[in-house]
Chains A and B, each alone.
Chain A
Amino acid sequence: MAKSSRAAFFAVIAALAPACAHADDLSLRGTIEPELRLFTQSASSARQKDTDISVSGEATGKYMWGDGDQSLIVTPFARLDQRDSRRTHWDLREARYGLVMGKWEVRLGFDKVFWGVTEAVHLVDVINQTDLIEDPVKQEARLGQPMLRLRTTQDFGTFDAFLLPYFRERDFPGTNGRPAYDIPVDMDLTRYESSRKERRVDGAFRYSHHLGDIDFGVSYFQGTNRDPILTPALSSGGDLVLSPYYAQMKQASIDAQATKGAWLYKFEGYWRRELGREYEAATGGVEYTFYGALGTEGDIGVVAEYALDSRGLMARDPYENDGFLALRWTANDEASTSFLGGAVVDAETGAMGFRFKGERRLSDDYRLSAEAYFFGNVPRRDPIYSIADDNYLQFRIARFF
């Protein structure tokens, strides 16, 4: 975490310290989660190994007062990794003050925001930076984003306005990291379109509402694109590396879901202007759940989605013309056992990716999860070619306290 964002955080804490003095509700929770990864193929670099042991920890401190209308939440996260010094990292997932006044709500500090409805790709979700080293393939982990957020909930919908005063760089695996690009990303060579670099103040606005079966959101974002353009460069040591470049962009987007019985219909799409070019991307699909499937207490859900990007294979997002199919089984038992199997196929290149995940609670305080990621038939021109030799199994046991 950069020095200035840390300073900003402590300034927020210091400003709020007097308020904590009359906190009438304090809670502290945490998780420790050891992890083992096993890679099933030989690595592309001699520095990458076939096994990796790692442990992560997260704690949440929560103060609430004024009948819950005021709150202070701090959630630090940290990981120690055996192989990759970059994966050994920490982040403030949340460190924010919240105030509710009837139909109005203000939040200040590090926070996380999710926009969108689909399962496979999250196109319109642009407020928070991706924590790539936490979740390198599915890319669902997010870094905390410093923000001032103003929200009002009226009968005709919810309005959110965001002021984002500081940009968080995407984190990438180091040279020992795996899965990783064959050419490492050198974060010392990061460049920005804006002369204010990470201090460029970004802004966003969102309107969301639900009418009967339909939930929808319309959003606008203007500022630094969270997704960097990676270009080959030479590091200070003279090695071939990738250099991240963060451009300015304007994005207008919509997301909508129709809920009809056991069917869900989903759509997300955006229009962007970046570096003098315009492009669009969309994703959508259906989800159907068989409740009490096969005469059991369990449910089987089927998700089928498709993603399209007008940039084609030039897209930085790997899903430019891709279909997704996933089966999810939920046992509805005491241990909340679930199993998910998913496949993604690139209609352009024929490249395939598979993901399997099984989860269950071991007792009230433990949860076991196992995941597998496999790639197949990936040609050199496909955006995921670089990590296609990093098939892996991952086991985690979370201990809650």
Chain B
Amino acid sequence: MGMTGRIYRAALCAAAIFTLSVISFGPSRAEAPGLPTAADPAARGLAIAQESDKRDRGWGDAKADMKMALTNASGETSERALRFMMLENTDGDGNWSLMTFDRPADIEGTALLTYPHVKEADEQWLYLPTVKRVKRISSANKSGPFVGSEFAFEDFSAQQVGKFTYKWLRDEPCGDRTCHVVERTPQYEDSGYTRQIVWIDTTDYLFRKTDFYDRKDSLIKTLTYQDYKLYDNKFWRPGELAMANHETKKSTRLIWQSYAFHTGLTKDDFSTASLERAR
């Protein structure tokens, strides 16, 4: 009995300590170690963004197929299909990408090559297959819709940590996880947004939701990240991104399929010459 009593007391004690620690530190106990405290929201916000970026390092190169489903206010849908090639760029300037359209049929084979930058303008080239022409295009079009969708060009191209300033707002539950809620403000020219509010979970530092505020600072769009899958035991990718426009009531879903990492792509596959190749 004495034995059992001691074990019982120890168990009770452990449970009490655990409960106390959960109460005192809350869900934030799961957050990344070394995050600045709430006393410095700017540093804490930046550190959260950097942590999210850091955890996704090392994927090298990737290939994926994307379906884009556009739904208008009356519920009519149309679909686009694209193929993506991506090359990780670890110098903070952003990942290189080459996307090729498979559908709609009239723009089949049209391809876009992007070298993003944080300080200077992004470099972009468009390939027009009917005239076999590679055109350097202006990357000043940040806020315009991407092929008639609810995604703007900047929603794809401006994702580098250095393109924003940050402010941590709060931590709060999001689904079955806890999220850091961080406000980020675009520091690049020609953005259509005054600010964005992002929900990043404290477990894997994955984006869960983004609210976009337009130039009049009213909530214009919400993006939710769904069906995260783990690839190569290391890299999380959302299976679906759903963008809802609160003003036009239109929406666009991006469905990502057949992700493959470390496929052997090199810089040679992201040249203006490779744009012209039928891939």
The residues of A with any CB-CB pair to B shorter than 8 Å are 29, 31, 62, 64, 68, 71, 73, 98, 100, 102-103, 105, 112-114, 117, 140, 151, 153, 158, 208, 210, 212-213, 215, 257, 259, 261-264, 289, 291-292, 297, 299, 332-336, 361, 363-365, 367, 398, 400-401
Within B97-145, the residues touching A (CB, 8 Å) are: 103-108, 120-121, 123, 131-138, 140-145
Decide yes or no whether B56 CB sits under 8 A from chain A: no
- CB pair B104–A364 under 8 Å, yes or no, is yes
> Can you list 26 A-B contacts (CB < 8 A)?
A64-B279, A71-B277, A100-B277, A102-B268, A112-B132, A114-B133, A140-B131, A153-B268, A153-B274, A158-B271, A210-B123, A210-B136, A212-B120, A259-B136, A261-B140, A264-B136, A264-B138, A291-B142, A291-B144, A297-B144, A334-B70, A335-B148, A336-B147, A336-B148, A364-B103, A400-B108
Residues of B within 8 A of A264 (CB): 136, 138
Residues of B within 8 A of A68 (CB): 277, 279
- CB pair B140–A289 under 8 Å, yes or no, is yes
Residues of B within 8 A of A401 (CB): 105
Residues of B within 8 A of A62 (CB): 278
- CB pair B136–A364 under 8 Å, yes or no, is no
Residues of B within 8 A of A140 (CB): 131
- CB pair B273–A289 under 8 Å, yes or no, is no
State in angstroms the CA–CA spacing of A234 and B175 once bound together. Answer: 85
- CB pair B273–A332 under 8 Å, yes or no, is no
Decide yes or no whether B192 CB sits under 8 A from chain A: yes
- 12 A-B pairs besides A262-B138, A332-B148, A336-B148 with CB distance below 8 A are A29-B108, A64-B278, A98-B278, A105-B277, A113-B132, A153-B268, A213-B121, A215-B136, A289-B141, A291-B142, A291-B143, A336-B106
Instruction: Known contacts A215-B136, A334-B78, A364-B78; decide if A400 and B143 are in contact (CB<8 Å).
Output: no
Residues of B within 8 A of A105 (CB): 273, 277
Residues of A within 8 A of B268 (CB): 102-103, 153
Shortest Cβ distance from residue A385 to the other chain B in the assembled complex, whole angstroms: 29
The residues of B with any CB-CB pair to A shorter than 8 Å are 70, 72, 78-79, 103-108, 120-121, 123, 131-138, 140-145, 147-148, 189-190, 192, 268, 271-274, 277-279
Of residues B106, B141, B189, B274, which shows the largest number of chain A Cβ atoms within 10 Å of its Cβ? Answer: B106
Nearest residue (CB) in A for B121 is A261
Nearest residue (CB) in A for B128 is A114
- CB pair B105–A291 under 8 Å, yes or no, is no
Instruction: Known contacts A259-B136, A367-B106; decide if A299 and B141 are in contact (CB<8 Å).
Output: yes
State in angstroms the CA–CA spacing of A69 and B218 once bound together. Answer: 49
- CB pair A151–B273 under 8 Å, yes or no, is yes
- CB pair B277–A336 under 8 Å, yes or no, is no
State in angstroms the CA–CA spacing of A297 and B141 once bound together. Answer: 11
Residues of A within 8 A of B70 (CB): 334
Shortest Cβ distance from residue B34 to the other chain A in the assembled complex, whole angstroms: 38
Instruction: Known contacts A62-B278, A114-B132; decide if A292 and B105 are in contact (CB<8 Å).
Output: no
- CB pair A210–B278 under 8 Å, yes or no, is no
State in angstroms the CA–CA spacing of A219 and B268 once bound together. Answer: 23
Of residues B104, B142, B147, which shows the largest number of chain A Cβ atoms within 10 Å of its Cβ? Answer: B104
- CB pair A291–B148 under 8 Å, yes or no, is no
Kindly identify which residue among B72, B107, B190, B272 contacts A334, using a CB–CB cutoff of 8 Å. Answer: B72
Residues of B within 8 A of A400 (CB): 104-106, 108
- CB pair A291–B190 under 8 Å, yes or no, is yes
Residues of A within 8 A of B132 (CB): 112-114
Shortest Cβ distance from residue B252 to the other chain A in the assembled complex, whole angstroms: 10
- CB pair B72–A291 under 8 Å, yes or no, is no
- CB pair A259–B137 under 8 Å, yes or no, is yes
Instruction: Known contacts A259-B138, A292-B192; decide if A332 and B145 are in contact (CB<8 Å).
Output: yes
Residues of B within 8 A of A98 (CB): 277-278
Residues of A within 8 A of B72 (CB): 334
- CB pair A289–B272 under 8 Å, yes or no, is no
Residues of A within 8 A of B273 (CB): 105, 151, 153, 158
Shortest Cβ distance from residue A256 to the other chain B in the assembled complex, whole angstroms: 10
Instruction: Known contacts A210-B123, A259-B138, A261-B138; decide if A292 and B104 are in contact (CB<8 Å).
Output: no
Residues of B within 8 A of A213 (CB): 121
State in angstroms the CA–CA spacing of A113 and B135 once bound together. Answer: 13
State in angstroms the CA–CA spacing of A31 and B103 once bound together. Answer: 14
Residues of A within 8 A of B107 (CB): 336
Of residues B78, B136, B143, B279, which shows the largest number of chain A Cβ atoms within 10 Å of its Cβ? Answer: B136
Kindly identify which residue among A262, A292, A398 contacts B143, using a CB–CB cutoff of 8 Å. Answer: A292
Shortest Cβ distance from residue A265 to the other chain B in the assembled complex, whole angstroms: 11
Residues of A within 8 A of B136 (CB): 117, 210, 215, 257, 259, 264
Shortest Cβ distance from residue A34 to the other chain B in the assembled complex, whole angstroms: 15
Nearest residue (CB) in B for A68 is B279
- CB pair B144–A332 under 8 Å, yes or no, is yes
Instruction: Known contacts A210-B136, A367-B106; decide if A291 and B141 are in contact (CB<8 Å).
Output: yes
Residues of A within 8 A of B141 (CB): 262, 289, 291, 299
Nearest residue (CB) in A for B190 is A291
Shortest Cβ distance from residue A138 to the other chain B in the assembled complex, whole angstroms: 11
State in angstroms the CA–CA spacing of A112 and B127 once bound together. Answer: 14
- CB pair A114–B121 under 8 Å, yes or no, is no
Residues of B within 8 A of A208 (CB): 272
State in angstroms the CA–CA spacing of A289 and B106 once bound together. Answer: 23
Nearest residue (CB) in B for A262 is B140
- CB pair B277–A292 under 8 Å, yes or no, is no
Residues of B within 8 A of A114 (CB): 131-134
Shortest Cβ distance from residue B14 to the other chain A in the assembled complex, whole angstroms: 56
Residues of B within 8 A of A117 (CB): 135-136
Shortest Cβ distance from residue A206 to the other chain B in the assembled complex, whole angstroms: 11
State in angstroms the CA–CA spacing of A98 and B268 once bound together. Answer: 16
- CB pair B144–A364 under 8 Å, yes or no, is no
Nearest residue (CB) in B for A64 is B278
- CB pair B148–A334 under 8 Å, yes or no, is yes
State in angstroms the CA–CA spacing of A31 and B136 once bound together. Answer: 28
- CB pair A29–B105 under 8 Å, yes or no, is yes
Nearest residue (CB) in B for A214 is B136
